[in-house]
Amino acid sequence: MAQFVFEADLHGLLKLDTPIPNAPPARWQRKAKESGAPGPSPAAGVSPMKPANRSHSSSKTPSRTPGKSGSKIQSTPTKAGGDRYIPNRSTMHMEMANFLLTKENDPAEESPTKKEQQKAWAVNLNGFDIEEAKILRLSGKPQNAPEGYQNNLKVLYSQKATPGSSRKNGRYIPSMPDRILDAPEIRNDYYLNLIDWSSQNFLAVALDNSVYLWNHTSGEIIQLLQMEHPDDYVSSVSWIKEGNYLAVGTSNAEVQLWDIQQQKRLRNMTSHSSRVGSLSWNSYILSSGARTGHIHHHDVRVAEHHVATLAGHTQEVCGLKWSLDGRYLASGGNDNLVNIWPCTQGDSGDFAPVQTFTQHQGAVKAVAWCPWQSNVLATGGGTSDRHIRIWNVCSGTCLSAVDAHSQVCSILWSTNYKEFISGHGFAQNQLVVWKYPTMAKVTELRGHTARVLNLTMSPDGATVASAAADETLRLWRCFEMDPIKKKEKEKANSAKSSIIHQGIR
């Protein structure tokens, strides 16, 4: 431990912002030591609720960490001793005054080189030349935040599970996942989209440089591909609507198209210059978002696949989703912007966003279109933002915003119930189911031990799969349809078709 003491001493000597350790104690320090008893009437600005540990200072100077003897300032009473002459000493600069006073005792004449040296030291330590500049401070502090205001950051980052949130919600949602799958080597990168569930019930998972397919019905696992270079990795996966082709975006800027039945690569489309972190299909158009902020449209049927470029982001595009009717493309980026793009070019031949939303204060990766209300989009912000916002893209208004208190990585809407689910990170790594449009919390699904990275939904809409940094995939049966209700729905669907049949006959 001796080296820490030496280092601490050295630091203490070099930094001029702590009092000189061997100087005679200032009058107020001596007084505080003598009195020892709890101080005089509390000066302005100190609430009576905070007891000063003054009784301890006389017996022993407590130090925070062992061996740190350099800075004595931490051991003096918590409130710089006020007395009846000068009630509030916090506005005085004891250290500076002490230094200036004691400095006068030093000999005035010094050799020029020593002066140069001292000047160099002063510039180094203070960051500026004391002779050339001075520091001014506006006197009269502004009103501090009202008493009882606890710093918000501490509250939200140390949130414990709220007991009130577990009220009866009318249906039973199991709090444990249906299944837990192992996902070793999954990349813990917020900006990637590593899982997707096909309409043929295959779950594609990208684990570092390979992609595996998990058959939900049979449970078997197939390794679809592995990158040639060990340094490359898969950065996004996306199934085509029919479920027979899988688009794979890679760290070396390629967009690959794979046929599942034959397990062969059909195409390797290169047009980007940086990793492809997001993909989205619109029938035969595949859109890809890259780290440069560009979005490319690829027509997968033709040889010249790169048909359009959308430049609306200045940083990585992490969220990309075509609307269900194929009219709009929503993109979210690391530059905190959400852009809504039309499906056709404007008059000038260039694509320009019809809407740009700047309200998020963090990266927008969670982007999801509402299936039952057209033109309604849900977006979620990263660590700096933590809000979920619902937009009407035609009017450009924010319909509602709710603070989720944690980084939002993904949002999925459920048609079975008018709800949506969001995946979160620090501190609880939970999935939250919200009721729409009331934005009330239906339930929170806990279990992941590290931040949730991606969410995807099964083709029947009953199960949600979440991939997290704890290298597991959990399947939650949160949107299961009541079997009776299911039968009613099917009846309603079949009734419609029979009417049509009658008409045609």
Partner 1 sequence: MAKQLGRDQQGITLRGSAEIVAEFFSYGINSILYQRGIYPPETFTRVQKYGLTLLVTTDPDLKNYLNNVVEQMKEWLYKCIVQRLVVVISSIENNEVLERWQFDIECDKTAKDESAPREKSQKAIQDEIRSVIRQITATVTFLPLLETACAFDLLIYTDKDLAVPEKWEESGPQFVANSEEVRLRSFTTTIHKVNSMVAYKKDSFP
Considering the complex, state which of residue 210 and residue 315 has its C-beta at the smaller distance from partner 1.
315
> Token pair of 163, please?
């007991």
Site for partner 1 in 310-329 (CB under 8 A): 314
Q: Could you say whether residue 383 binds partner 1 (CB under 8 A)? A: yes
Binding segment toward partner 1, per CB under 8 A, in 9-17, 173-181, 218-226, 236-244: 9-17
Binding segment toward partner 1, per CB under 8 A, in 71-79, 174-182, 316-324, 493-501: 71-79
Q: Could you say whether residue 489 binds partner 1 (CB under 8 A)? A: no
Per-position DSSP letters for 242-298, written without gaps between them: TSSEEEEEETTSEEEEEETTTTEEEEEEE--SS-EEEEEEETTEEEEEETTSEEEEE
Q: Could you say whether residue 23 binds partner 1 (CB under 8 A)? A: no
Q: How far apart are CA 480 and CA 247, in angstroms?
A: 29
The label of the residue with tokens 């979160």 reads 424
Considering the complex, state which of residue 252 and residue 359 has its C-beta at the smaller distance from partner 1.
359
Candidates 3, 22, 59, 144: give the one binding partner 1 (CB under 8 A).
144
Q: Give the CA distances from residue 281 to residues 239, 241, 327, 474, 481, in Å, rounded to whole numbers and listed in that order.
A: 8, 7, 12, 25, 27
Q: Could you say whether residue 45 binds partner 1 (CB under 8 A)? A: yes
Considering the complex, state which of residue 8 and residue 173 has its C-beta at the smaller distance from partner 1.
8
Q: Could you say whether residue 374 binds partner 1 (CB under 8 A)? A: no
The label of the residue with tokens 């050339």 reads 132
Q: How far apart are CA 180 and CA 197, in angstroms?
A: 16
Q: Give the CA distances from residue 365 to residues 32, 186, 320, 375, 454, in Å, rounded to whole numbers and listed in that order.
A: 56, 18, 8, 19, 10
Considering the complex, state which of residue 334 and residue 466 has its C-beta at the smaller distance from partner 1.
334
Candidates 39, 54, 57, 79: give the one binding partner 1 (CB under 8 A).
79
Q: Could you say whether residue 80 binds partner 1 (CB under 8 A)? A: yes
Closest CA to 206 of 193, 219, 216: 193
Q: Could you say whether residue 141 binds partner 1 (CB under 8 A)? A: yes
Q: Could you say whether residue 336 binds partner 1 (CB under 8 A)? A: yes
Candidates 137, 160, 168, 505: give the one binding partner 1 (CB under 8 A).
137
DSSP conformational letter for 485: H
Strand order in the sheet with 179-182: 179-182, 472-476, 464-468, 452-457
| b/e code 137-159 from CB counts within 10 Å (16+ = b) | eeeeeeeeeeeeeeeeeeeeeee
Binding segment toward partner 1, per CB under 8 A, in 72-80, 110-118, 170-178, 369-377: 72-80
C-beta separation of 390 from 397 below 8 A: no
Minimum distance from CB of 447 to partner 1 (Å)? 25
Considering the complex, state which of residue 32 and residue 421 has its C-beta at the smaller distance from partner 1.
32
Q: Could you say whether residue 3 binds partner 1 (CB under 8 A)? A: no
Give the footprint of partner 1 on this chain (CB under 8 A): 11, 15, 17-18, 45, 50, 64-65, 71, 78-80, 90, 93, 95-96, 126-128, 131-146, 149-154, 157, 314, 335-336, 358-362, 383-384
